[in-house]
Amino acid sequence: MIDTTVNVINKLGLHARASGKLIEVTSRYRSSIQLGKGKELIDAKNIMSLLMLGAGKGTQLRLVIEGSDEEKACEAIQALFNAKFYEAE
């Protein structure tokens, strides 16, 4: 199990377009992937749950991944966050 954090650093936060890109990444993996603030975690493969997080720029999110491909999933998710969801600034 991986239990780490990711920081929302893109200008608009985890809005609809960014959430859609995150879903594209998380849905590629079999592992259970959860995101949240503190102990409140949501399914990172569910777009409505992601949008309800209300994670704006500067938010630190907890990322919990468990499964056979957890390391690859973690790397891909962290890369997406670090690339600011490939949005123009």
Tell if the pTM clears 0.85, that is, is over it.
Answer: yes
Q: Supply the pLDDT for residue 62.
A: 97
CA-CA distances (angstroms) from residue 60 to 24, 35, 54, 57, 87? 21, 10, 12, 9, 19
Q: Supply the pLDDT for residue 88.
A: 78
CATH topology classification for 2-84:
Histidine-containing Protein; Chain: A; (3.30.1340)
How does pLDDT run along the chain (89 residues), one tens digit per residue? 999 999 999 999 999 999 999 999 999 999 999 999 988 999 999 999 999 999 999 999 999 999 999 999 999 999 999 999 998 76
Which of 2, 9, 15, 43 is the catalytic position? 15
Q: Which of 10, 2, 3 is nearest to 80 (CA)?
A: 10
Give the number of other CB atoms < 10 A from CB of residue 28.
Answer: 12
Q: Supply the pLDDT for residue 89.
A: 67
Q: Supply the pLDDT for residue 67.
A: 97
15 annotated active-site: yes
